[in-house]
Amino acid sequence: MENLQQLAIDYGIIDYALQIVAALAVFVFGRWVVLALTSATRRVLDARKVDPMLVAFGTNVAYVALMAFVVVAALGQLGIQTASFVAILGAAGLAIALAFQASLSNLAAGVLLVTFRPFRIGDFIEAGGTAGVVEKIEIFTTQVRTGDNKTIIIPNSAVAGSNIVNYSTKPTRRLDLVVGVGYDADLDRVRAVLDDILGADERVLAEPAPTIGVTALADSSVNLVVRPWVASENYWPLHFDLHETIKKRFDAEGISIPFPQRDVHLRQVA
């Protein structure tokens, strides 16, 4: 037994085992400290009512950066020269950066989105070829929820590199409808009916005043634009209700809404 102990001491097995234990202790304790710091930071920022998008992004970046220091400290306990390790890590980082250009562009785009904040959590946006409610923005991706309750993960570079349409920044929106009537219709009467429909709906704002005007003399109809202003949250309910109300009211008033028709003539060949 004494010979085994002396052999372990001679070969440094005990010392190396102690180094491994110390490295594991540094890593576990350091990870616990990092989690505690990021959690405390998140609670403080939430208490100060900081933008949730900025909170999530900042804590994710802080966690990755602090864990890098913990890993370096744990490696130092193993006797690895951290200075040379950092140099090697820098060279490897350059190679990784070249291999993961898309990921780095997503990271840079995420920083830009958080810095300039063209949208916030809960905004309805159109970007990156999709539309939905922003649920969260992370280091590399932005998560949105579509109207049919699907979750779409969009790379940050696709969001920042495209036109961003934010439907939630303004309290009001203009509803654009196109209504076609026959050429034999009395336009003054049609306009009066449309005015009456808009005036009877409390969701239509008085200011700015609605616009009703002839927009085109089409092949089979006279097209009028109906453009009322509405609170943003009432946009789609009013959109659906106006179409239905206009159809029912036109039927009651005897105003025809033309639709494409085709006459087919059959000729019998002897």
**Higher local confidence (pLDDT), 24 or 150:** 150
User: In which band, very low, low, confident or very high, does the pLDDT at 247 lie, cut at 50, 70 and 90?
Assistant: very high
Cα–Cα distance between 222 and 16 in angstroms, integer? 89
CATH number of 118-166: 2.30.30.60
Tell me, what's the pLDDT at 8? 47
2-99 folds as: Helix Hairpins (1.10.287)
Task: Categorize the per-residue pLDDT at 11 as very low, low, confident or very high, splitting at 50, 70 and 90.
Answer: very low
**Percent of the chain at pLDDT exceeding 70:** 81
For residue 4, pLDDT beyond 50: no
pTM for the model: 0.60
Q: Is the pLDDT of residue 89 over 90?
A: no
- Domain spans in the chain, listed from the N-terminal domain onward: 2-99, 118-166, 172-253
The residue-averaged pLDDT of 234-254 equals: 93
DSSP string covering the chain, please? -HHHHHHHHHTTHHHHHHHHHHHHHHHHHHHHHHHHHHHHHHHHHHHTT--HHHHHHHHHHHHHHHHHHHHHHHHHHTT--HHHHHHHHHHHHHHHHHHTHHHHHHHHHHHHHHHH-SS-TT-EEEETTEEEEEEEE-SSEEEEE-TTS-EEEEEHHHHHTS--EESSSSSEEE--EEEEE-TTS-HHHHHHHHHHHHHH-TTB-SSSPPEEEEEEE-SS-EEEEEE-EEEGGGHHHHHHHHHHHHHHHHHHHT----------------
Higher pLDDT, 99 or 150: 150
Tell me the CATH number for domain 172-253: 3.30.70.100
Residue 84's pLDDT is: 60
Tens digits of residue pLDDT in 30-65: 888 888 888 888 887 777 776 676 677 777 777 877
Would the pLDDT of 127 be above 70? Answer: yes
